[in-house]
Amino acid sequence: MDFGFTAEDEDFRAEVRAWLAERVDATMERRAWERALGAAGWIGLGWPESGYGNRTATLTQQVVWAEEYSRSGAPPRSGHIGENLLAPTLLAHGSEEQKSRFLPPIAAGEELWCQGYSEPGAGSDLAGVRTVAVREGDHYRISGQKIWTSLAHEADWCFVLARTDPDARRHHGLSLLLVPMDQPGRTEVRPIRQLTGTSEFNEVFFDGARARVEHVVGGEGNGWRVAMSLLGFERGVSTLAQQIGFARELAEVLDAAVATGAVDDPVLRARLVRQWAELRVMRWNALRTLGGGPAGPGAPSVAKLLWAAWHQRLGELAVEVRGAAAAVGPADWSPGSPYPLDAAQHLFLFSRADTIYGGSDQIQRTIIAERVLGLPAEPKGAV
């Protein structure tokens, strides 16, 4: 595999090989962990149906499980996209054959999924998708590019939003296809190296990739409706687990502020108190929403705006309370190799993306303006 490196230094090459081996090892460990969770029956608790190798749980039980999983410091999940996004979508819109084929491997932790939505010219404005799927007999031939595809380098399958009617505009003529990733020469994954030096996000290129006709979810041309339904599953019980992680990060920032004496600064101390108070408000709001309280059409957008900005401010505080020491890495590094970061540095750098992924702040404000406040719609061209 050619990574474009020209350096002849053997130490440099050894570092690169070690990084690649570590990445492979981490992938195998995450897969093994997913299988262990599946064998114990902990995947699919929130599905409205059982019988696919999963067991169901009440909403309260789901909340307890999600919070305790996060509180225990258990590994990040590789299978959450299949479990929490695709599976509920198949249960709502899929055929019996699709459910029987895809849900058991998800519940067992055997097949991992990624989400093929965003494109270079169609990120938050999802209706601008240009990836094309052309029907040829019993399959579709898919051509196009997806970007910011989380965990695509580990996924076995991808659910892809593609245009099956080239004459339709915007959200018309789209379909959601289930596409196998293991198609050499037809599917290529290119990791995107981020500020943190890691590569959770990827570019995915489809060059004649194939998807079977029976693997179109909800029928051809109904992709927009299915895709919007899927996005509705993105925020739920997992929000509370996310907040447990936020609380742990906040506690670490507070400990650092006390250790460095930064907490003696009244302005900074007030900012820390604000972070604590806002996190409590987000938790009670999430519980109210899950409990069936009045949410409103813009509730998910409001929640996204709140937690994304909150987490970015926490990242800024994480380095600010440490002063100049925050600019020093925990270990030596050499140019071209993955650079080490401590937890606070990683939090600061990675949280810069919080207001972009999952629907940018600008798009969330547009949704609130149009769907909640009833303001005139933003011009989007011909429909």
Catalytic annotation on 234? yes
CA distance 191 to 105: 25
> 110, 188, 220, 234: which is the annotated catalytic residue?
234
The contacts found for 352-358 with CB under 8 angstroms, 24 or more apart, are 352/195, 352/312, 352/315, 353/194, 354/307, 354/308, 354/309, 354/311, 354/312, 355/308, 355/309, 355/312, 357/148, 358/234, 358/304, 358/308
Active site residue ranges: 234
